[in-house]
């Protein structure tokens, strides 16, 4: 295909998308094949909103039980707005990306205060809410309110990159904007929400990243990448920067049947969550010397390092943690920092820990059994 033809397709959909009913074919497939998901029970904008925030960077099967539990605890905007933050974080525990739920609660409080508890139904107003970007705004407006707004996520970018044989880098914001313009041309009147969900469903079930199931695709006939045999080469995506490696020594400090836990600062990574005391270091082999000195300075606890407990890796979008975890025993005098406290091991489940520190709790339980 010539460069000029590709440029034309980048800004205007091929005629057959309109003439032969791309939207009609896609929706017929969706109506017969769509998954039974808990957030599709109704079109309550709050329920749609919560589901879309949970589904960011998280698999559908993982989200299902979290979503049901969250909606039971916080069934309305007002319930979420009024809830203590610790309870909200606990309900989110294990999903990761905790800034998402903090933004969700902050936005719920704004909706309660400024919109009487009703989620706004215009792009201008809904986009003002914390944590709601172009995709989430489009999803809520189309699914809950049937507004003809595109909702362009990774699945949709992959689908349309293949359909139109686009070699634009989907990691670039300009590509998303271009795709929004293209998709607006085929959003059917009165079924905007189903259309957007159908595109997402197609990307999740058929037009998958590797080995797309072209022979079962309901829009097979429209796909230019399939005609050229290059569907597995698309989309084009620039490589993200590799996460920065960081190494920590972690002290699980026991005193009788209690262990010491620390609350992280209220801003930054994993804000306000609990953890076992950690010390960033390059000197793993000197843990027995480094930990007692650093823990005493930072947390006000004298300790004796007993033995290694576990080694755990956890990757964030920008960081890769390697945690070298040691069982320790509290000794001597204590002048505890205000951010730490002793709790019984059977009380740990009452506090919100990150995934990495949940693995430490599990290792502690196995070591104690």
Q: Which residues of 314-350 are buried (b: 16+ CB within 10 A; e: fewer)?
A: eebeeeebebbbbbbebeeebeeeeebebeeeeebee
Rounded Cα–Cα distance for residues 337 and 233 (Å): 54
Query: Which tokens go with 125?
Result: 């107003």
Closest CA to 194 of 45, 23, 52, 38: 23
How close are the terminal C-alpha atoms of the chain, in Å?
Answer: 65
Q: What is the 3-state secondary structure (H, E, C) of 2-56?
A: CHHHHHHHHHCCCHHHHHCCHHHHHHHHHHHHCCCCHHHCCCCHHHHHHHHHHHC
Q: How far is CA 293 from CA 27, 246, 281, 311, 343, in A?
A: 64, 20, 13, 21, 23
Respond yes or no: is residue 52 known to be catalytic.
Answer: yes
Relative orientation angle of helices 60-73 and 45-55, to the nearest 10 degrees? 140
CB 189 within 8 A of CB 148: yes
Q: Which of 52, 93, 149, 275 is catalytic?
A: 52
Dihedral (CA of 278, 279, 283, 286) sign: negative
Cα distance between residue 252 and residue 291, in whole Å: 11
Query: Could you tell me how many residues make up the chain?
Result: 369
CA distance linking residue 309 with residue 325, whole number of Å = 5
Instruction: Show which residues are catalytic.
Output: 52
């Amino acid at each position: 295909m010539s460069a000029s033809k590709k440029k034309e397709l980048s800004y205007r959909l091929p005629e057959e998308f309109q003439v032969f009913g791309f939207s009609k074919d896609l929706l017929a497939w969706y109506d017969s094949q769509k998954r039974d998901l808990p957030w599709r029970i109704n079109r309550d904008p709050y329920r749609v909103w919560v589901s879309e925030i949970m589904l960011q960077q998280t698999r559908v099967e993982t989200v299902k039980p979290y979503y049901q539990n969250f909606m039971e605890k916080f069934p309305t905007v007002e319930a979420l707005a009024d809830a203590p933050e610790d309870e909200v974080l606990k309900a989110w525990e294990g999903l990761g990306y905790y800034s998402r739920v903090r933004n969700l609660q902050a936005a719920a409080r704004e909706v309660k205060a400024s919109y009487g508890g009703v989620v706004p139904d215009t792009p201008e107003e809904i986009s003002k809410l914390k944590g709601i970007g172009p995709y989430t705004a489009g999803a809520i407006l189309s699914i809950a309110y049937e507004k003809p707004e595109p909702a362009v996520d990774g699945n949709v970018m992959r689908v349309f990159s293949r359909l139109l044989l686009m070699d634009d880098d989907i990691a670039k914001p300009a590509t998303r904007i271009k795709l929004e313009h293209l998709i607006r041309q085929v959003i059917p009147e009165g079924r905007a929400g189903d259309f957007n969900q159908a595109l997402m469903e197609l990307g999740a079930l058929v037009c998958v990243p590797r080995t797309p199931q072209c022979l079962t695709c309901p829009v097979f006939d429209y796909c230019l990448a399939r005609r050229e045999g290059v569907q597995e080469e698309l989309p084009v995506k620039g490589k993200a920067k590799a996460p920065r490696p960081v190494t920590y020594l972690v002290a699980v400090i026991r005193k009788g049947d209690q262990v010491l836990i620390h609350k992280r600062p209220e801003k930054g990574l994993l804000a306000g969550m609990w953890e076992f005391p950690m010390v960033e270091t390059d000197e793993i082999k000197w843990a027995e010397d480094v930990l007692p000195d650093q823990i005493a300075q930072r947390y006000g606890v004298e300790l004796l390092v007993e033995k290694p407990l576990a080694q755990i890796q956890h990757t964030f979008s920008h960081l890769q943690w390697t945690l070298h975890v040691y069982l320790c025993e509290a000794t001597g005098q204590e002048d505890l920092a205000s951010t730490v406290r002793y709790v019984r091991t059977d009380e740990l489940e009452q506090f919100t820990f990150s995934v990495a520190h949940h693995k430490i709790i599990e290792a502690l339980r196995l070591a104690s059994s």
